[in-house]
Amino acid sequence: MKRIGVLTSGGDAPGMNAAVRAVVRTALEKGAETFAIYEGYRGMVEGKDKIRRVGWNKVGGILQLGGTVIGSARCQEFREREGRRNAALNLIHNGIEALVIIGGDGSLTGAHILQQEWPGLVAELVEVGQITQEVADTHQSLTIAGLVGSIDNDMHGTDMTIGADTALHRIVDAIDAITSTAASHQRTFVVEVMGRRCGYLALMSALASGADWVLIPESPPEVHEWQARMCEVLHKGRETGRRDSIVVVAEGAQDRNGNPITSQDVKEVLEQRLGEDTRITVLGHVQRGGAPSAYDRIMSTLVGAEAVEAVLAAGKQDEPVVIGIQGNNVTRTPLSECLNRTWAVADAIKERDYSKALALRGGSFRQSFRMLRTLVRTFPHDPEPGQRRRRIAVMHGGGPAPGMNTAVRAAVRLGTDKGHVMLGVNNGFRGLINDEIEEMDWMSVAGLAPRGGAELGTNRYIPEGRDFYAIARSLEKHQIEGLLMIGGWSGYLSVLELFNNRQNYPAFDIPMVCLPSTINNNLPATDFTVGADTALHSIVWAVDRIKQSAVASRRVFVVEVMGHHCGYLTLMGGMATGAERVYLHEEGVTLRDMAADVEELIEGFTKGKRLGLIIRNELANEIYSTAFMAALFEEEGGDLFDVRQAILGHMQQGGDPSPFDRILATRFASMAIDYLAQQTAEEEYVSACVGQIKGKIQFTDLHDVHRLLDMDLARPKSQWWMALRDFARIMAQPEPQWDLRKAKKESV
């Protein structure tokens, strides 16, 4: 039986606990033993009670906790060979052959060195008589998988590091709050965020919050110019009526000569040159703390499980790998490659080769930086001489989703900046029928980025029959040459209606783009829709509280979440909260399932369980409703436990959009506007849906959309997340059942 050690090292990051839980449970499920190495490398060097076996239940109830329950530390001894030899001895004493190391680039550098030195360290241990040659022979190699735990998102090998999304939540919440007080007093705030060598948090939080200026290490401004350029933008913003001004500064911000730019420097410049009342807020450790976001819990769970798969499958000579994520795809990359490319960025910054630093950060970082530079402008660029200005309409369709406003703001600003005339259609397709259309200018979308809901208005009306004449009239009247529909299922169907009728109505014969925005994540040609992450985060927030209330009173909760016939929110909500059971429409609900659940609950509560959590989709089964389920469990539970139902309802559609949704909305909108502008210039244009597929933004031809859909159930025919069902079940199962199953397996 293989023994796997798991440790968290370096700076702590929210989501590390979810990763540890996934490592332990996956390993146990696969028949390996797991050891927690407490306090990072220090525990490895010290050994003794710092290295302890962990069982299934030991990692119960930690999914929602911030920080790391197995501790983290910096360890000087591990930087010396002697320290690493002691660490090797302690691993060998415990029979540990594989490690999953969760930490930043420093910790993973340490891991790389340990793995390379391993044969030498083992030989030295034999030489000094601390182990026998026989023992050494059974420990010829050490297998390592690394997970990047770092709020900075500063490492190659993964789109997102564990903790970065949560840190963005903290920062964006803070900036949203500061914006309202700044606006009340017409003040300027300088917000300093973490990131000594990496501007990710600063850049993305500025993009997500609609801040006015950002300073990051990868793209430092000219030495004598930055003050003037920043002041010009802020000053113009004030002139056009902006009441708040926010400048986001990364800890490691500097000018082109490598002189640091501190938040104090920025404050002084603003006070001296603009006479602005300026305050500094240094967010500090708040960014590291608190409960992990839904995204971090799920992502950490997926990479944690994959790390175990990787070490169990690795051959003796295999190089360590980093397990990362690209879109919804879990990836493995050689550790040395990840480290080399990460160091290359640091070197480029040190050598002041900033274009190389930006290039090495990757395409989406660069694209975000470009978008931000446009979005913060007070006025659009002047159109190119002779450029044809296209007339592009923006509208919604379907239910409201957080992030719709963010997408509209980005589309209007980026479209206007490219020289196009942007028209807003109010009230979805009803508005298009009733000619509720007006031009939107640069300032009409100011302050819209962080706001939940849909200011343009949206509804689920799908045009039919006579409506088409009215719509054609509106489109012709406003000479609309391209249409961007930001919305959900009925919005998609409405666009398809126009698209399919374009032979009969010449006005419909224009390029159209659908931008997926619904909390349900039930749209074709994209892995994620704008709004789903926010809804998921709201569900997780609510269920965390429900769980806390239930623990006090031996209670089972049946929680109902939205999604129509699509189980995305249910399954992911279950994974992020550790629910023991989820019910999806895709799988159906039978009496037999519920009877088995009752038995499991009775058994669990008899053994001292204090809380049960079941999450179901609103339409999982119309006959076996939430009320029915709760009543059934209540009756069968007798005196052992009581049951309550919690229908989360419309809170899931509300709330300000999460950083993930704001960034996704902005990226989608930017790509969609470019695409539309390009298609309007083509004779053979293509109408499409924009989406993110396996981490890449792509366009899918509207001709192909129909065959991707299950029209009766209003969801795509194939849903990627369905592959996670078994995995979610394994993670959440109680240990006794696992033991039972193992016993059964063995007896067979």
Of 146 and 604, CB closest to ligand ADP: 146
Cβ 191 to ligand ADP, closest distance in Å?
A: 23
Task: Give the SS3 label for residue 396.
Answer: strand
Footprint of ligand ADP on residues 534-573 (CB under 6 A)?
Answer: none
Footprint of ligand ADP on residues 592-621 (CB under 6 A)?
Answer: none
Q: How far is CA 150 from CA 153, 158, 300, 426, in A?
A: 6, 11, 12, 43
The residue from 103, 252, 578, 734 that contacts ligand ADP (CB under 6 A) is: 103
Of 336 and 434, CB closest to ligand ADP: 336
Of 14 and 424, CB closest to ligand ADP: 14
Footprint of ligand ADP on residues 511-540 (CB under 6 A)?
Answer: none
For residues 145 and 323, give the distance between their C-alpha atoms in angstroms, rounded to a whole number.
7
- Count of residues that bind ligand ADP according to CB under 6 A: 17
Cβ 39 to ligand ADP, closest distance in Å?
A: 11
Cβ 83 to ligand ADP, closest distance in Å?
A: 8
Binding of ligand ADP at residue 3 (CB under 6 A)? no
Q: Which stretch binds ligand ADP (CB under 6 A): 108-116, 643-651, 652-660, 710-718?
A: 108-116
Q: How far is CA 142 from CA 309, 316, 594, 721, in A?
A: 15, 8, 45, 33
> Do residues 371 and 207 lie in contact, with contact meaning Cβ atoms separated by under 8 Å?
yes
Binding mask 124-153 for ligand ADP (x = CB under 6 A): --------------------------x---
Of 9 and 645, CB closest to ligand ADP: 9
Of 105 and 560, CB closest to ligand ADP: 105
Cβ 607 to ligand ADP, closest distance in Å?
A: 39
Of 343 and 379, CB closest to ligand ADP: 343
For residues 225 and 712, give the distance between their C-alpha atoms in angstroms, rounded to a whole number.
59
Cβ 122 to ligand ADP, closest distance in Å?
A: 18
Q: Name the nearest CA neighbour of 99 among 139, 65, 128, 66.
A: 139
Footprint of ligand ADP on residues 450-469 (CB under 6 A)?
Answer: none
The residue from 107, 143, 534, 653 that contacts ligand ADP (CB under 6 A) is: 107
Q: Name the nearest CA neighbour of 484 among 513, 459, 458.
A: 513
DSSP 487: E
The residue from 15, 104, 324, 578 that contacts ligand ADP (CB under 6 A) is: 104
Place of tokens 């999604």: 563
Cβ 121 to ligand ADP, closest distance in Å?
A: 13
Binding mask 39-58 for ligand ADP (x = CB under 6 A): --x-----------------
Dihedral over Cα of 57, 63, 65, 70: its sign: positive
The residue from 29, 46, 105, 173 that contacts ligand ADP (CB under 6 A) is: 105
Of 76 and 553, CB closest to ligand ADP: 76
Footprint of ligand ADP on residues 5-34 (CB under 6 A)?
Answer: 9-11
CA 183 to chain centre: 29
Cβ 307 to ligand ADP, closest distance in Å?
A: 16
Half-sphere exposure (Cβ direction) of 321: Cα atoms closer than 13 Å: 21
The residue from 65, 113, 314, 346 that contacts ligand ADP (CB under 6 A) is: 113
Q: Name the nearest CA neighbour of 305 among 320, 323, 328, 329.
A: 323
Q: Which stretch binds ligand ADP (CB under 6 A): 3-11, 166-174, 273-281, 620-628?
A: 3-11
For residues 320 and 332, give the distance between their C-alpha atoms in angstroms, rounded to a whole number.
10
Cβ 155 to ligand ADP, closest distance in Å?
A: 9
The residue from 2, 93, 109, 279 that contacts ligand ADP (CB under 6 A) is: 109
Neighbours of 7 (CB within 10 A): 30
Concatenated DSSP letters for 527-565? S--BTHHHHHHHHHHHHHHHHHHHHTTTEEEEEEE--TT
Cβ 45 to ligand ADP, closest distance in Å?
A: 8
Contacts of 597 (CB under 8 A, 6+ apart): 581, 614, 633
Catalytic residue among 12, 152, 527, 533: 152
Kindly report the backbone phi and psi dihedral angles of residue 372, in degrees, each rounded to the nearest multiple of 5, phi listed first.
Answer: -60, -45
Cβ 42 to ligand ADP, closest distance in Å?
A: 7
Q: Name the nearest CA neighbour of 52 among 87, 6, 113.
A: 6
Tell the burial category of 146 from Cβ atoms under 10 Å away from its Cβ (0-12, 13-18, 19+).
buried
Of 2 and 79, CB closest to ligand ADP: 79
The residue from 67, 71, 110, 195 that contacts ligand ADP (CB under 6 A) is: 110
- What angle, rounded to 10 degrees, do the helices at 735-747 and 591-606 form? 110
Structure tokens of 206? 């500025």
Cβ 198 to ligand ADP, closest distance in Å?
A: 11
Biggest CA pair distance of the chain: 91
Of 150 and 653, CB closest to ligand ADP: 150
Structure tokens of 222? 């000219």
For 249-277, give one letter per residue: b (16+ CB within 10 A) or e.
bbbbbbbeeeeebbbebbbebbeeebebe
Cβ 79 to ligand ADP, closest distance in Å?
A: 4
β-strand pairing of 143-148 with 98-103: parallel
Cα dihedral: 649, 651, 654, 660 (round 10): -100
Of 167 and 411, CB closest to ligand ADP: 167
Q: Which stretch binds ligand ADP (CB under 6 A): 30-38, 71-79, 448-456, 662-670?
A: 71-79
Of 106 and 419, CB closest to ligand ADP: 106
Q: Which stretch binds ligand ADP (CB under 6 A): 104-112, 206-214, 250-258, 636-644?
A: 104-112
Footprint of ligand ADP on residues 72-101 (CB under 6 A)?
Answer: 74-75, 78-79
CA 498 to chain centre: 34
Cβ 321 to ligand ADP, closest distance in Å?
A: 17
> Do residues 162 and 15 lie in contact, with contact meaning Cβ atoms separated by under 8 Å?
yes
Binding mask 199-238 for ligand ADP (x = CB under 6 A): ----------------------------------------
> Do residues 84 and 91 lie in contact, with contact meaning Cβ atoms separated by under 8 Å?
no
> Do residues 140 and 156 lie in contact, with contact meaning Cβ atoms separated by under 8 Å?
no
Concatenated DSSP letters for 94-126? TT--EEEEEE-HHHHHHHHHHHHHHHHHHHHHH
Is 296 considered catalytic here? no
β-strand pairing of 3-8 with 33-37: parallel
CA 676 to chain centre: 27
DSSP 628: H
> Do residues 517 and 665 lie in contact, with contact meaning Cβ atoms separated by under 8 Å?
yes
Of 103 and 221, CB closest to ligand ADP: 103
**Nearest residue to ligand ADP, scored by beta-carbon proximity:** 106
Footprint of ligand ADP on residues 637-656 (CB under 6 A)?
Answer: none
DSSP 28: H
Structure tokens of 650? 């419309």
Kindly report the backbone phi and psi dihedral angles of residue 633, in degrees, each rounded to the nearest multiple of 5, phi listed first.
Answer: -65, -40
For residues 456 and 453, give the distance between their C-alpha atoms in angstroms, rounded to a whole number.
9
Of 77 and 436, CB closest to ligand ADP: 77
Q: Mind telling me the catalytic residues? A: 152
Residues that bind ligand ADP (CB under 6 A): 9-11, 41, 74-75, 78-79, 103-107, 109-110, 113, 150
